[in-house]
Structure 1
Amino acid sequence: METVEHDQVCLVSAAEETVAAPSLSIALVSHDGAQPPSLTPLRPRVTGNLSAVRATDDVVVCYSEHGADDVKRLYGLLGRDMPAVLVAARGFDERDVISAFDHGATSYLVLSQTPEVCLLGAAITTARGESCLSPIAATTLLRHVARSPLTTPPDPLPHHNLTPRERQIMELLVTGHTIMEIAEHLTLTGKTVRNNLSTIYAKLQVRRQSEAILLWLGRQPQPTT
């Protein structure tokens, strides 16, 4: 069993690691009331009502057969104030993975591939705004991006506000490079790259890496109608 961490993106397979549970505000969306034991140390607030999710929550865990519908509804309720979202799907559906990220999900675990014991670490990682993916979810997203025609959106994206260095960093990020790989390529420190990314997120008016990548590719999350 192993976990492969790539700085801001963590590919989770079947790892089990001891994680110190921080104090976090976690909303666990579970329509049937089921609660994964591995999240118990984080004392999540279990609810089947999406309106109970607060913008001030550190992370929302959507624990269901498929989670994209919950992510869509949350985005419709909270918009860009939606907290970081971890989908913990009990089954795999390619369309569900794509739809979840199109509507602002940060992380996606497929529990038929990644055991529930990994949820604790994934929830903490997601609360930091970093992405955590089961390999099958990562593969699905990469294939989807490869298939998608990159057309120019009708309204200009706020790329013009970025410096040439920030543009370099974003181009490397969206092509799958890790923070340390970007730092090595540009002869920078990892801390400098992270600082640049924080500035980039502020300029692009996003809160996390997944939103920045989708925005850069011209596919912004859209609220449900």
Structure 2
Amino acid sequence: MRASRQLSVAVACPGEAWPHPDWPARDDPYVERAVLLSEPFRIPESADVVVLRSAEPLRYFRELVTGTTPAIVISPCRAAETVIEVFRGGAGYLVEGDYCACMLSSAVVGASVGHTYLSPAACAALREGVRRQSAAGEATERLRGLLSPRERQIMDLLSTGLGAQAIGLRLRLSEKTVRNNLSNIYAKLDARGSTDAVLRWLGAADGGGQRALAR
């Protein structure tokens, strides 16, 4: 999905260097500027998205990424527990060495419209962590049984980090059709949005999806 205007990004790199000094490019159609913040970090009201770059993202996550500004974490850490915690907090996650500048711009645009973007390695860590941690396998399967075969296809793709447009291309559906399906999925799973739905689908949500099953 294209942003309706070019975006402003606030960048926080506690104790570390920002690896993309030439980003955004002058011809970037999505991101207008990236402002490197100094400590103590204060997110400017003009920022559309905040990016936290840290080897220990959870150390700074609650301070920087729990406000109303959408967020993305960039980190060399690919520990499943860290990725899950960040994802539960509603932020995207890009593993260093696992993305390019174009993907960073796409992640920023996605965050600005409510999509939680994960790089491939972050997706893999999330799914592996859920398989290890989930103690609600039966409940999760019952939850998945609430969805139609098409809805299950969409959730499989959503849980790999794809947005509605990309899912539509994969399944040869219009973006509008995918979004209509997602609205139905959220209602069935009793999910607040895409992040919550993916966590419930994977069995990583608090309560393992019991809220939806109890209705």
Task: Give the drift of 1:61.
Answer: 1.0
Gaps of 5+ in 2: 26-30, 138-142, 207-215
Name the residue aligned to 2:121: 136
1:23 and 1:149, CA in 2 relative to 1: closer, same or farther beyond 3 A?
same
After superposition, the CA RMSD in angstroms is 4.1
Question: How big is each residue's C-alpha offset from its partner over 1:25-44, in whole Å with a ceiling of 9 and x where there is no partner?
Answer: 32212224744221365312
Question: How big is each residue's C-alpha offset from its partner over 1:83-129, in whole Å with a ceiling of 9 and x where there is no partner?
Answer: 3321121x233133232113222x22122333456423332233233
Alignment coverage as a number of residue pairs:
185
Task: Indicate conservation of the 8 Å contact 1:27/1:60, yes or no.
Answer: yes
Name the residue aligned to 2:35: 45
Name the residue aligned to 1:180: 168
Calculate the TM-score normalised by the size of structure 2.
Answer: 0.62
1:218 and 1:73, CA in 2 relative to 1: closer, same or farther beyond 3 A?
farther
Alignment of 1:136-215 (within 5 A): 136-151=121-136, 171-176=152-157, 179-180=167-168, 189-198=174-183, 204=190, 206-207=192-193, 209-215=194-200
Secondary structure at the residue paired with 2:93? strand
Q: Does 1:71 align with 2:61?
A: yes
How far, CA to CA, are the matches of 1:130 and 1:73 in structure 2? 21
How far, CA to CA, are the matches of 1:33 and 1:43 in structure 2? 20
Question: How big is each residue's C-alpha offset from its partner over 1:17-66, in whole Å with a ceiling of 9 and x where there is no partner?
Answer: xx999422322122247442213653123324454265x84322112223
Q: Counterpart of 1:52 in structure 2: which amino acid?
A: I
Question: How big is each residue's C-alpha offset from its partner over 1:142-194, in whole Å with a ceiling of 9 and x where there is no partner?
Answer: 11122232539xxxxxx9xxxx7x7766544443366338966xxx6441221
Name the residue aligned to 1:87: 73
Task: Indicate conservation of the 8 Å contact 2:130/2:203, yes or no.
Answer: no
1:201 and 1:42, CA in 2 relative to 1: closer, same or farther beyond 3 A?
farther
Q: Counterpart of 2:113 in structure 1: which amino acid?
A: R
Name the residue aligned to 1:103: 89
Calculate the TM-score normalised by the size of structure 1.
Answer: 0.59
Moved more, 36-45 or 60-69: 36-45
How far, CA to CA, are the matches of 2:3 and 2:202 in structure 1? 36
